[in-house]
Amino acid sequence: MDTLRVLIVDDHEVVRVGLVSFIQCHKDLQVIGEADNGSDAVSKTLTLKPDVVVMDIRLGEGISGIEACREIRKADTGVKIIMLTSFSDDETLVSSIMAGAQGFVVKQLKGKELVNAIRTVGRGESLLDPSSTAKVMEFMKNATDMHSSSKQTLSLQEKRVLALIAKGLSNREIANRLILSEKTVKNYVSSIFNKLGFSNRAEAAAYAVKYNYKFDPI
């Protein structure tokens, strides 16, 4: 097997060191670089040209892992991307797939499972099972139905909040990005859900992606 070149992206140094140390123990894997934020991840991917990027979804300040994944996909580098998350939920699933990731894994998994995941996407295979893809397609269908039935429009700030939900940001992260209180963001999210009939953030993320809601700084 050819050696797979891997880029590790995580804003926690201890996590990066642990991942690098473990991955380097395998002769068919080579860590060629590290990044601690989304912008650096995009830059190093374009410069170093890894085969696989293992990237945390939440990267503190700057762009999120989801945003970085989209930017890398736009560059059409052919790199395979695995999203790391502390917990698995439908919002993470929708955001990861729509951003173009080949799959996502939870940080609690065993090291051997991560290595197998890297090898799997390195071979050009997806980590996403058919049920996951079907779930996302269902969310996208529901987004179409909601769009057709909705008679209410969103304010500019609500559109910006919805776009950030699609980027995988939490209410706290959205508040920091928009320089608002977390309570204010929570109120915006509730208003968006009420206007468009969402029952969860995964539906909101699917809707925002399908109808191309973008975050434009004021």
Verdict on whether the full-model pTM lies above 0.85: no
Query: Residue 215's pLDDT is what?
Result: 66
Residue 45: alpha-carbon gap to chain centroid: 16
Could you give the CA distance from residue 58 to residue 37 in angstroms, rounded to a whole number? 9
Query: Residue 44's pLDDT is what?
Result: 96
Q: Count of CB atoms within 10 A of residue 82's CB?
A: 23
Stretches where the chain sits below pLDDT 70 are 1, 87-90, 128-151, 215-218
Could you give the CA distance from residue 194 to residue 178 in angstroms, rounded to a whole number? 21
Query: Residue 53's pLDDT is what?
Result: 96
Domains of the chain: 4-128 (3.40.50.2300), 133-210 (1.10.10.10)
Query: Residue 79's pLDDT is what?
Result: 93
Query: Residue 190's pLDDT is what?
Result: 94
Query: Residue 175's pLDDT is what?
Result: 92
Query: Residue 31's pLDDT is what?
Result: 95
Query: Residue 39's pLDDT is what?
Result: 93
Residue 30: alpha-carbon gap to chain centroid: 24
Could you give the CA distance from residue 65 to residue 14 in angstroms, rounded to a whole number? 18
Could you give the CA distance from residue 78 to residue 35 in angstroms, rounded to a whole number? 19
